[in-house]
Amino acid sequence: MITVEVALDARSYPIHIGAGLLGHAPLLVPALSEPRVAVVTDTNVAPLYLERVAGALRKAGIAVTEIVIPAGESSKDWPTLNRVIECLLASGCDRATTIVALGGGVVGDLAGFAAATYQRGVPLVQMPTTLLAQVDSAVGGKTAINHPLGKNMIGAFYQPRLVVTDTAALDTLPDRELRAGLAEVIKHGLLGDAAFLAWLEENIDKLKGREPLALAHAIRRCCEMKAAIVREDERESGIRAHLNLGHTFGHAIETGLGYGNWLHGEAVAAGMVMAAELSHRLGHLAARDVDRVRALLGRAGLPVVGPALGPGAYLELMRRDKKAVAGDIRFVLLKHLGEAFVGAAADEAVRGALNACTRDL
């Protein structure tokens, strides 16, 4: 087991990474305020791992409430949150009950927001079971639900007490979901040190082939990088915004197509190509580096062009993005590979990049 520490003073917490951790109650029990948890998971994950987690906890004397939501991004909404809150109330969960988010990004975001707001906040443990959640969404405290007018529009920064990352859970992850997770891994490579990007180019086939050592290394490096960024800028007033590389375009794709048609990681992959292309058109990233981004994502089996919604529709959706300031879209751009910055761009350049990176699907 490897442990990565997220240092946030009184709210610091460990990320434990290893194979088989889901059934290992002693990791969790000392973090509980009272011997009671509510495990929130979805209809995909419940048949695979719920009994393993709940059974181990019950054997350790912990009372467990099980709450299973429908799988899919469309569950990240108010009615589902309200059902979770109702289950918590009906089973007598109180302010000392710990909510355990067992699943991917949707479960983590929804259950995390439930923990942030139930009775003004209860303890939270993240147990990510997808690669995307393990390298990104379960780390750093972002929680949210979607609004019909925009993704993640209602949410909170709320740190967990503990993240338990079981790499063996990836064995059952569908190929498409694994690839979507690789998009966020590659994002860390584009933002971080050159060595990790080179390692990814070297090892992308091993990652696609689920080689355990390669996956564990990638997860660890991503968690270390993300922990360092979150420590510096927990509430995204500065450098944390770099983690949104590809997300402004990506959210427009997700919202434009309707949530759940493309996986988040797929939209971010196409969005990173757009961001790289835009960076190039603005005179930053070299053309060969745009090709390098496109090639690595393509080798990971990810989309490198977006749907042709039309540049006008993209611009309209991005102006409504919550990272926009007074209607100005804030793009995360690449100065070169490994160094990002946040900047504006003329609509003309954005239209050009969009035309170069979209087609009718």
Residue 152 CB, nearest approach to a second copy (Å): 7
Burial bucket for residue 359 (CB in 10 Å: 0-12, 13-18, 19+): exposed
Measured distance CA(282)–CA(22) in Å, rounded: 46
Q: Is 5 in the site for a second copy (CB under 8 A)?
A: no
Piece of 54-62, 187-195, 322-330, 343-351 that binds a second copy (CB under 8 A): 322-330
Angle, in degrees to the nearest 10, between helices 175-191 and 212-232: 50
Q: Is 236 a catalytic residue?
A: yes
Q: Which residues pair with 5 in a beta bridge?
A: 14
Q: Contact at 8 Å (CB) between 49 and 102? A: yes
Measured distance CA(335)–CA(337) in Å, rounded: 7
Please identify, using beta-carbon distances, which residue of 97 and 167 lies nearer to a second copy. Answer: 97
Q: Is 322 in the site for a second copy (CB under 8 A)?
A: yes
Please identify, using beta-carbon distances, which residue of 126 and 165 lies nearer to a second copy. Answer: 126
Residues 141-180 within binding reach of a second copy (CB under 8 A): 142-144, 147, 149-150, 152-157
Is the four-CA dihedral 193, 199, 204, 206 of positive or negative sign? negative
Q: Single out the residue of 82, 316, 335, 347 in contact with a second copy (rule: CB under 8 A).
A: 82
Is the four-CA dihedral 84, 41, 129, 31 of positive or negative sign? positive
Q: Which residues pair with 143 in a beta bridge?
A: 156
Of the residues 188, 226, 281, 294, only one is catalytic, namely 226
Residues 86-125 within binding reach of a second copy (CB under 8 A): 86, 89-90, 92, 94-96, 116-121
**Closest Cα partner for 262 from 340, 270, 42?**
270
Q: Which residues 6+ apart lie within 8 Å of 319 measured at CB? A: 327, 329
Tell me, what amino acid is at 80? T
Piece of 47-55, 219-227, 321-329, 339-347 that binds a second copy (CB under 8 A): 321-329
Q: Is 142 a catalytic residue?
A: yes
Residue 292 CB, nearest approach to a second copy (Å): 33
Residue 251, CB half-sphere, CA atoms under 13 Å: how many? 25
Token pair of 29, please?
Answer: 């029990």
Q: Is 234 a catalytic residue?
A: no
Residue 30 CB, nearest approach to a second copy (Å): 19
Q: Is 244 in the site for a second copy (CB under 8 A)?
A: no
Residue 186 CB, nearest approach to a second copy (Å): 25
Residue 326 CB, nearest approach to a second copy (Å): 6
Please identify, using beta-carbon distances, which residue of 156 and 315 lies nearer to a second copy. Answer: 156
Q: Is 235 in the site for a second copy (CB under 8 A)?
A: yes
Q: Which residues of 296-314 are buried (b: 16+ CB within 10 A; e: fewer)?
A: bbebbbbbbbbbebebeeb
Of the residues 44, 146, 152, 244, only one is catalytic, namely 244
Q: Which residues pair with 183 in a beta bridge?
A: none
Of the residues 179, 221, 251, 280, only one is catalytic, namely 251
Q: Is 320 in the site for a second copy (CB under 8 A)?
A: yes
Residue given tokens 């929130």 in the structure block: 40
Q: Is 242 a catalytic residue?
A: no
Indicate the length of the chain as a whole number.
361
Please identify, using beta-carbon distances, which residue of 297 and 329 lies nearer to a second copy. Answer: 329
Q: Is 78 in the site for a second copy (CB under 8 A)?
A: yes
β-pairing, 331-336 vs 339-343, is: antiparallel
First vs last C-alpha separation in the chain: 43
Q: Is 16 a catalytic residue?
A: no
Residue 200 CB, nearest approach to a second copy (Å): 30
Q: Is 34 in the site for a second copy (CB under 8 A)?
A: yes
Q: Contact at 8 Å (CB) between 250 and 224? A: no
Please identify, using beta-carbon distances, which residue of 288 and 326 lies nearer to a second copy. Answer: 326
Q: Tell me which residues are annotated as active site.
A: 120, 142, 184, 226, 236, 240, 244, 247, 251, 264
Kindly list the residues in this chain that would bind a second copy in the complex (CB under 8 A): 34, 36, 78, 82, 85-86, 89-90, 92, 94-96, 116-121, 142-144, 147, 149-150, 152-157, 235-236, 319-320, 322-327
